[in-house]
Amino acid sequence: MPARSKSSQRWLKEHHSDPFVKRARAEGMRSRAVYKLEELVARDRLLRPGMTVVDLGAAPGGWSQWVRRELGDTGRVLALDILEMPPLAGVEFLHGDFREDGVLSRLESMLDGQPVDLVLSDMAPNKSGVDAVDMPRAMYLAELAMDFADRHLRPGGTFLIKLFQGVGFDDYVRDLRRRYEKVSIRKPEASRKRSPEVYALARGRRADEMNAHGREV
């Protein structure tokens, strides 16, 4: 077996000493990322019984697991990822690439015309380490997620998405502000400080903007 690089050894050491990793293991959660969502959503009390929630980029399932727990036996949680995800009770999982029209159509069929209350997107492309390649890929996924929210989020609904700061970020946030009553940019405590990721929390989907993007309300 080849020796691990110094950077991978450093990552492993940091990972195993991470308080959020330890907490996730102790509480039976699938990933440390659940505590990002917990802070972002619980702070504004965005979850209510009976909601329909779509989780894009769901694997390994931490976000869906937390949402399902918070909703109890009510509502629906639909999850999608290009990676396989072990089953979660009460979560409807679709395995596929969100960039493909056929996969999007299957997700829409699962909704069967039911409006969505909350769209979550923790999607991110595989990183090459080259910003000129990675940022366009990340923004493309973000655009697809916003387009999905445009078509399926109910008036007044909420959209929470992971973004990376860089080229295209400001324009994207500007587009969100046209579509939603309130947009906040946040970096939760569980987000590693060196990571360029932030989360945009867009609340209050505007009905007039829904009409402007071709959806009946």
Residue ranges of the annotated binding site for S-adenosyl-L-methionine are 61, 63, 81, 97, 122
Backbone CA torsion sign across 88, 55, 204, 166:
positive
Active-site entry in 127, 162, 187, 193: 162
Establish whether 162 is a catalytic residue.
Answer: yes
Contacts of 46 (CB under 8 A, 6+ apart): 118, 158, 160, 203
Distance CA 90, CA 77 (A): 7
- What are the catalytic residues? 162
